[in-house]
Amino acid sequence: MDNLQEYLDRLDMTRMPRHVAIIMDGNGRWAKQRGRDRSEGHAEGVTSVHRAVEFSSDMGIGYLTLYAFSTENWNRPQTEVDALMHLIGWAIERELPELLENNVRIRLIGDIDRIPEEARRKLLNSQSATAHCTGLTLGMCLSYSSRWEITEAARILARKVKECDIDPENITESVFADHLNTAGMPDPDLLIRTGGEERISNFLLWQIAYSELYFTDVLWPEFDKIEYAKALLDFQKRERRFGKTSEQVAKADDSKVGN
């Protein structure tokens, strides 16, 4: 089976994840396999981002969150970091008209102040220009790490306690989540990692507490709509129990059907 339509026919449009998060890994290896520079792998990765955004919108997915650059990625060779930052700024500027046309809202997640000025300006501009959009929310994690985000939330809450804005007894899980960069977004239902590694690399540690994890060897530049559809099909086969028994889940589903 290698035709996209055959996969689409098997997908249940009523059981799509509300939020998909993706660790886009494997650009460097994709380039190396072809004897090309790593930066060419990143450039090819932009095409994959475009496809994933389009497919998410078509599938009626509400939120797509992409891990584009981690806090740890600042430690890569300066030439690669510079090329990536330039690419990110260039790509977001180029994609903006189509994002607007497709009603996609950009949400920046991470320590955006660390991004070099030119790329940062283009990113912030795309975020404000799409603020009114009501279709897919596209979370772009840049200069992001989950431990950084959680530490920031703790710091903000500590300040509020110090200033008597909040009583420590009132810091619930939901209040804590409201102080993360992802405040207001539902937790990811499905987390995909391309590139063959089976690790989380400091991504959304709090938010993926109950996400379904999907790992594929496919390198990010080769992650096409068929590969995305395969991940969605795999997700739809799983039973999400959230600590309950299979029988309890089946019963709850029956009562939903009866409604």
Please give the positions annotated as active site.
Answer: 25, 73
Q: Tokens in use for 142?
A: 């840049």
d(CA 225, CA 50): 11
Contact between 244 and ligand IPE per CB under 6 A: no
Q: Tokens in use for 12?
A: 């249940």
Bridge partners for 213 per DSSP: 191
Residue 139: strand, helix, or coil: strand
Q: Print the binding letters for residues 61-80 with ligand IPE: x by CB under 6 A, - otherwise.
A: ------xxxx-xx-------
The site for Mg ion (CB under 5 A) is made up of 25
Q: Which is nearer to ligand IPE, 148 or 176 (CB)?
A: 148
Contact between 89 and ligand IPE per CB under 6 A: no
The binder of ligand IPE chosen from 34, 114, 199, 251 (CB under 6 A): 199
What is the number of alpha carbons within 13 Å of residue 150 lying toward its C-beta? Answer: 10
If you search the block for the tokens 């090329």, which residue do you land on? Answer: 83
Least separation in angstroms between CB 247 and ligand IPE: 39
d(CA 109, CA 60): 22
- The alpha carbon torsion through 22, 26, 31, 37 (nearest 10 deg) reads 90
Q: Which is nearer to ligand IPE, 67 or 214 (CB)?
A: 67
The binder of ligand IPE chosen from 89, 110, 139, 195 (CB under 6 A): 195
Bridge partners for 19 per DSSP: 63
Residue 67 contact partner, candidates ligand IPE, Mg ion, none, CB within 5 to 8 A by sort of partner: ligand IPE
Q: Which is nearer to Mg ion, 32 or 94 (CB)?
A: 32
Least separation in angstroms between CB 231 and ligand IPE: 16
Stretch that binds ligand IPE, among 19-27, 168-176, 226-234, 248-256 (CB under 6 A): 19-27
d(CA 13, CA 102): 19
d(CA 29, CA 196): 11
Q: Which is nearer to ligand IPE, 28 or 89 (CB)?
A: 28
Looking only at residues 23 through 42 of this chain, which bind ligand IPE when binding is defined by CB under 6 A? 23-29
